[in-house]
Amino acid sequence: MEKAFVAQRVAKKLFVTEAAVDGALSEAAELMSEVLMARKEVNTSMVFADDVQVKLMDAMKALSEARTAMVAVHNELNEAKLRLGVRTQMAGEKPPSAVDTTETTLRAVR
């Protein structure tokens, strides 16, 4: 199989993996916000469920480290691509995180 096609296949998986790590980190941050608001809404002291907040912060730190590792993987794979002599990019394709998902198509309803 041609090297460029193999590189594109790997790049697609890389982009999906990067988006998944970013998504998990974003969801964890939203969970932290919900946990803090919930504690306030039920009028409990700051010590209530403090161990949960600490564990969630540990998880977020691990996700942040995973994100940093994925950036390193991205850079290493880019170097490997160049060493293999593959100079092409995925023309016209963007990683999933770069695609605007907020745009909707509207149509007239009668």
pLDDT in tens, 26-77: 999 999 999 999 999 999 999 998 999 999 999 999 999 999 999 999 999 9
- DSSP-derived 3-state class of residue 100: coil
- For residues 86-108, one letter each, b for 16 or more C-beta atoms within 10 angstroms of the residue's C-beta and e for the rest, the string is beeeeeeeebbeeeeeeeeeeee
110-to-105, 107 alpha-carbon distances in Å: 16, 10
Tokens of 65: 């480290």
Closest CA to 30 of 56, 69, 64: 56
Q: With 0.75 as the threshold, say if the pTM is over it.
A: no
